[in-house]
Structure 1
Amino acid sequence: MKKLTTLLILSSIFIGNAQTTQKPKLVIGIVVDQMRYDYLQRFKDKFGSKGFNKIIKNGTTFENAHFNYIPTYTAVGHTSIYTGTTPKNHGIIGNNWYDKYEKKSIYVVDDENYETVGSTTNEGKKSPKRLIASTVADQLKLAQNFKGKVIGVAVKDRSSILPVGHAADIAYWFDGGKVGNWVTSTYYTKELPNWVNLYNTTNKVKLDEYLAAPWTTKKNIEDYSESIRDHNHYEGVFHGEEKPIFPHDLATLKEKNGGYSLLKTTPFGNTMTLDFAKEIVKNENLGKNKDYSDFLAISISCTDYIGHKYGAASKETEDAYIRLNNDIDDFISYLNRKVGKNNYVLFVTADHAVVQIPNYLMDNKIPGGYFSANDFIVKLNEFTKEKYQSTNLIENYSNEQIFLNHNEIAKLGLNLEVVENTIINEIVTYNYVYRAVSAHTMQKSEFTQAPISLLQEGYNQKRSGDILIAFEPAVISDHYIKTGTTHGSGYNYDTHIPILFYGANISKGKIVKKPVNITQIAPTLSNILQIQEPNMSSHDILTEVFEKETE
């Protein structure tokens, strides 16, 4: 019988009409920190029929999904996914940035108004106060009159706090060092639930087991043909290690590498996160309320730590994804048992991807390089001294942005816009600077071509600098010149990530040609949950998630 494709768009269902699709009891977001889309292809055979391949086979896969702004950093990525908009609107312009009003560098979720819950350290002095926009989790709370539960969990504080927004019931993150606890902030609660206190106590045995055994490859290392050789000069080492090779003796390395914090740079930190997520589902009865939907935002943080240290081509990265694939498969099986496979929707994406280690690229005749911020500032100050007889015009340089000293410019009787353009004309002659654009230009013009269009989407008038810079491809800070790599650009290696949907009433299929943006996830989730989209969100829904084939 000929198959007919029927497009079911939940947003077309008006209040009072019969609803053809019941909203899920639980939505789970899994954001894998620093996951490139090509990992799904490179490691496909190693995944077997489990985990990622199971989701791809039984759900909707968007193969041409990208971030649509610069900078591609962790806090920015998580925020953009769940708010459905870019930094120009939601206000999160970095993990850290220079506050031009307070005249100091700030960390995105730091908040001295709150205290740690779960340990005696300062790791819990956090809140989402710098997030301007609402998230899909906030909108779910509003739509259900604050019924239903919204919970975030991640090793990184910013990756747990920002996705669930302002109205979450609670967000948990990992306090390593000598503590080894899941903690939170008094922003959410004055004390941890009893079950979390008990879990923290009993879980120490498991954490100690992880650190007592060496990190060896899950499969035979000789079969890791998708990676470069294990012993090479591109990768970083733990303190106390001489070579970046397997096995990594975690028991020996623990003391010199932050105690329990060592788990962050191993695959076992990801296992630990998903194990705790299972406990959240069980103890908070997520997906069990017949009248309201729950939301669980999970971030897999340790892939980022591993990627920074060892790079995208390393055997450590391959092993981390093989192990993560098994962990995700186990988590899906758990959801099927505890929640029911027809009662939840799960999506998987990433907060950014990553560039191959530039030294590795250059050794293979592919362009790349290392940019020295110190040399840049010295040279720029020499220019402003010669041009304006002042070395005080540059107030701050960070995140590839220049913040000018407006008081000094006024004191010298200079025109701010003229100074911006003069400096831009100078720095575009420097090595590795590809493009530069001023704040005034951002405010006056609308750009459609990358990289300027991506810089514009990342430019926030209130928080960003006076001049924004885009480097040439595969150029990163010289902080990594010896080993390792990073991310942050608008090039494909940093922007191309997976978007996968799976679960109740989700269509099966691969969307290959259609380009999609990360900001389309939040309005799609809002549609699935039958709620108002976040207040600054894109309106562009991933309609393929709802396409059904009928006989």
Structure 2
Amino acid sequence: MKKTLPQFALLTLSLAVLTACGTAPSAGPEAAMAAPAASKTAAAAPKLIVFLVVDGLPMRQVLSYRDQLQPDGFKRFLERGAWFANAHYGHGHTVTAAGHATMLTGAYPERTGIISNEWRDAKSFEQVYNTGDTAYQYIEHRTEPLAGTSPRNLRAETVGDVLRSVQPESKVIAVSGKDRGAILPAGHKGTAYMYMSEDGQFASSTYYMPSHPQWVKAFNAAKPADAFFGKTWAPLLPEAAYARSVPDSQPWQSNAGNGNKLPAVLGAKMDGPGPRFYGNILPSPYGDELTLAFARAAIEGEQLGADAKTDILSVSLSSHDYVNHAFGPESRLSHDHFLHLDRYLQGFFKYLDEKVGAGNYVAVLTADHGFADTPAWAKSQGRDAELLNPALLQATVNEGLVKKFGEGRWVVGFSAAGVLFDHKQIAARGLQPAEVYAEAKRLMLQVNGVLAVFTPDQLLSRDESTPYLKAMRKAWHPEVSAPVQFVIKPNWLFSSRPGGSSHGTPHAYDTHVPILAWGPQWVGRGEVTQAVEVVDIAPSLAQMLHVKAPAQAQGKPLPWPQAVK
């Protein structure tokens, strides 16, 4: 399950909504699958790499609304850039932290150690947060237990780490509405800034610096988030344009926060800006607007892309994930949020063209995971879709293990996509763990909603043919993960919470994400239908920067279309 953390931030100096002009009809993409051209490999590195992440954006949404896109938002990638129609995550537990750790390391969770957003220590059963580190605190902000403050748990280097090792003058800045969305792409040698929902500011942690630079202080002092108090999130298009989406106010859509119907007024029934209002900015288009505004402030304040030493700016836009969790990707609210995001990107690209120069930077966009449709909606469409209650599954397995091995709490709980066992009890009964794992697997497979279960012997094997095993192996770190891993049925959610939707499986709706790029002299132009994976991004960027790929990288350079000179 997703954890909402107190790290979300505000807008920069100018808070103008990044809008652009009318919709243009979509032209057919150019198909190309050529290997990288020699001239592209030899091209000088760009001055700036802009790495964009849209949290929780399945590729199907990018293409479903293509006819309603602005001329120079997502269409910049689809019509004048390179894009991969068949890009997937290779690991099976598809969640925010695991995805953000994979993107710029080029490594699966089996190597990064970031197996989920949070997990439990397999021996002590204590909670672990992916970027938690009590040795550091947020600068000038309250630091809650388990808050994300450093990349200590990330066991792999990023492209930015490699770049700064050979070229320390290069800057690597990461910005996000979530701590994990900033800290993990920033790696060990970059700098991360995240949104603080207590006051609408962006903050870093003492892992990176003792105090904020002046440009951050100026941004926060302007209180740009306050400008959204009383602002209305209204549909961008006429009602008929949303006929392909599920209408608002469905019983399975969350009615908390800003409500589940457009138009919605931010701060409605509140006296003024406060923590609840600042938190409600995130599940609206304005969370992304704030994040991009801070990204512009970072470009100005750090002079990114201003000299010959390549810089990296990672911007993880968190709002789409919150919207999809609350309302489902099939909803009109998600549809409209995507269209807002398209306009924001158009404005951001215009700014980059003017500030950095259109021929001086590369933009790459991906997502940390896809999304399932809400089970209630899927069920109404005739699909087998339900909730698998974790407490019920645990009780069922424990009951069966008691019958087999005697009284005791054999299953302690769940950690990421795995099952935790009381190994002290197993040893005290003189049992081998493998015996208990095998029986637990048998019992779990009898529960409706469980599709596959894998024991450590299977996860450590070289079996490449058993369905889902390879994906779950890549999601399993033997020192971090629970011993037994499982997969739920398609369209089901492992949750007891009614309403909304989620992700976290090896099914295509969760693994199929965009990989879009623009920077014609480096990435070429056209659609690529060849299957690729998100782990391929890091070695591709390393090649572009003329540095070695990150040490733990498991991907290979992307098959860019022919470079455009």
Normalised by the length of structure 1, the TM-score is 0.92
| 2:553 is aligned with 1:531 | no
| 2:504 is aligned with 1:488 | yes
**What is the aligned partner in structure 1 of residue 389 from structure 2?**
372
Match of 1:298, SS?
A: strand
| 2:272 is aligned with 1:249 | no
> How do 1:310-329 and structure 2 match up within 5 A?
310-329=327-346
Q: Is the 8 A contact 2:258 2:280 kept in 1?
A: no
Equivalent residue for 2:193, pick from 150, 157, 172: 172
Bigger drift between 212-221 and 353-362 goes to 212-221
**What is the aligned partner in structure 1 of residue 367 from structure 2?**
350
Distance, in Å, in 1 between the alignment partners of 2:39 and 2:435 is: 48
Equivalent residue for 1:151, pick from 170, 173, 191: 173
Distance, in Å, in 2 between the alignment partners of 1:266 and 1:67 is: 26
**What is the aligned partner in structure 2 of residue 263 from structure 1?**
281
Query: Cα gap change, 1:120/1:342 in structure 2, threshold over 3 Å: closer, same or farther?
Result: same
Report the number of matched residues: 530
Query: Cα gap change, 1:8/1:490 in structure 2, threshold over 3 Å: closer, same or farther?
Result: closer
Bigger drift between 392-401 and 185-194 goes to 392-401
Q: Is the 8 A contact 1:97 1:398 kept in 2?
A: yes
Match of 1:497, SS?
A: coil
Distance, in Å, in 2 between the alignment partners of 1:101 and 1:82 is: 30
Match of 1:395, SS?
A: strand
Match of 1:182, SS?
A: strand
| 2:507 is aligned with 1:521 | no
Q: Is the 8 A contact 2:327 2:334 kept in 1?
A: yes
Match of 2:460, SS?
A: helix
Query: Cα gap change, 1:163/1:305 in structure 2, threshold over 3 Å: closer, same or farther?
Result: same
Q: Is the 8 A contact 2:81 2:520 kept in 1?
A: no
Distance, in Å, in 1 between the alignment partners of 2:281 and 2:489 is: 34
CA-CA distance at 1:8 after TM superposition: 4.3
| 2:271 is aligned with 1:230 | no
Equivalent residue for 1:94, pick from 116, 121, 141: 116
Distance, in Å, in 2 between the alignment partners of 1:373 and 1:210 is: 38
CA-CA distance at 1:32 after TM superposition: 0.5
**What is the aligned partner in structure 2 of residue 139 from structure 1?**
162
Distance, in Å, in 2 between the alignment partners of 1:461 and 1:5 is: 37
> How do 1:443-462 and structure 2 match up within 5 A?
443-462=460-479
| 2:414 is aligned with 1:397 | yes
CA-CA distance at 1:209 after TM superposition: 2.4
Query: Cα gap change, 1:159/1:125 in structure 2, threshold over 3 Å: closer, same or farther?
Result: closer
Distance, in Å, in 2 between the alignment partners of 1:427 and 1:157 is: 34
Q: Deviations over 1:494-538 (max 9, x none)?
A: 0111101111512011012x1111110100000111101011102
Query: Cα gap change, 1:365/1:125 in structure 2, threshold over 3 Å: closer, same or farther?
Result: closer
| 2:378 is aligned with 1:361 | yes
CA-CA distance at 1:239 after TM superposition: 4.9
Unaligned runs of 5+ in 1: 14-19
Bigger drift between 352-361 and 112-121 goes to 112-121
**What is the aligned partner in structure 1 of residue 11 from structure 2?**
none
Equivalent residue for 2:236, pick from 208, 215, 218: 218
**What is the aligned partner in structure 2 of residue 548 from structure 1?**
563
Identity of aligned residues (%): 27
Bigger drift between 77-86 and 470-479 goes to 470-479
**What is the aligned partner in structure 1 of residue 429 from structure 2?**
412
Q: Is the 8 A contact 2:267 2:277 kept in 1?
A: no
Write the letter of the residue equivalent to 2:74: F
Equivalent residue for 2:296, pick from 264, 272, 278: 278
CA-CA distance at 1:418 after TM superposition: 1.7
Q: Is the 8 A contact 1:143 1:532 kept in 2?
A: no
Q: Deviations over 1:345-387 (max 9, x none)?
A: 1100100010000111111111111101111111112111111
Write the letter of the residue equivalent to 1:305: Y
Query: Cα gap change, 1:401/1:207 in structure 2, threshold over 3 Å: closer, same or farther?
Result: same
Query: Cα gap change, 1:6/1:454 in structure 2, threshold over 3 Å: closer, same or farther?
Result: closer
| 2:204 is aligned with 1:181 | no
Query: Cα gap change, 1:11/1:456 in structure 2, threshold over 3 Å: closer, same or farther?
Result: farther
Equivalent residue for 1:69, pick from 91, 98, 104: 91
**What is the aligned partner in structure 1 of residue 152 from structure 2?**
129
Q: Deviations over 1:82-129 (max 9, x none)?
A: 110111111100000011244311111111101211434549761000
Q: Is the 8 A contact 1:34 1:350 kept in 2?
A: yes
Query: Cα gap change, 1:62/1:7 in structure 2, threshold over 3 Å: closer, same or farther?
Result: closer
Q: Deviations over 1:231-279 (max 9, x none)?
A: 32221112585xx211212222557982211101101000111111111
Bigger drift between 230-239 and 352-361 goes to 230-239
Write the letter of the residue equivalent to 2:51: G
Distance, in Å, in 1 between the alignment partners of 2:86 and 2:77 is: 17
Equivalent residue for 1:472, pick from 485, 489, 510: 489
Equivalent residue for 1:428, pick from 445, 450, 454: 445
Distance, in Å, in 1 between the alignment partners of 2:407 and 2:479 is: 26
Query: Cα gap change, 1:70/1:26 in structure 2, threshold over 3 Å: closer, same or farther?
Result: same
Write the letter of the residue equivalent to 1:127: S
Match of 2:253, SS?
A: coil
Distance, in Å, in 2 between the alignment partners of 1:301 and 1:253 is: 25
Q: Is the 8 A contact 2:535 2:555 kept in 1?
A: no
Normalised by the length of structure 2, the TM-score is 0.90
Unaligned runs of 5+ in 2: 1-31
Q: Is the 8 A contact 1:148 1:289 kept in 2?
A: no
Distance, in Å, in 2 between the alignment partners of 1:250 and 1:5 is: 46
Match of 1:346, SS?
A: strand
**What is the aligned partner in structure 1 of residue 457 from structure 2?**
440
Q: Deviations over 1:384-433 (max 9, x none)?
A: 11111132221322323111111111110001112111111121011111
Distance, in Å, in 2 between the alignment partners of 1:59 and 1:416 is: 52
Write the letter of the residue equivalent to 2:221: T
Q: Is the 8 A contact 2:96 2:181 kept in 1?
A: yes
**What is the aligned partner in structure 2 of residue 191 from structure 1?**
211
Q: Deviations over 1:323-342 (max 9, x none)?
A: 10011111111111111111
Write the letter of the residue equivalent to 1:23: A
Could you say what the CA RMSD is over the residues aligned between the two structures, in angstroms? 2.1
Q: Is the 8 A contact 2:95 2:368 kept in 1?
A: yes
Q: Is the 8 A contact 1:5 1:549 kept in 2?
A: no
Q: Is the 8 A contact 1:118 1:197 kept in 2?
A: no
Equivalent residue for 1:300, pick from 289, 305, 317: 317
Query: Cα gap change, 1:8/1:45 in structure 2, threshold over 3 Å: closer, same or farther?
Result: closer
Match of 1:106, SS?
A: strand
| 2:53 is aligned with 1:38 | no
Q: Is the 8 A contact 1:83 1:522 kept in 2?
A: yes
Query: Cα gap change, 1:211/1:473 in structure 2, threshold over 3 Å: closer, same or farther?
Result: same
Query: Cα gap change, 1:12/1:510 in structure 2, threshold over 3 Å: closer, same or farther?
Result: closer
Distance, in Å, in 2 between the alignment partners of 1:285 and 1:299 is: 20
| 2:531 is aligned with 1:511 | no
Match of 1:252, SS?
A: coil
Distance, in Å, in 1 between the alignment partners of 2:329 and 2:400 is: 38
Bigger drift between 444-453 and 124-133 goes to 444-453
Write the letter of the residue equivalent to 2:218: L
**What is the aligned partner in structure 2 of residue 16 from structure 1?**
none
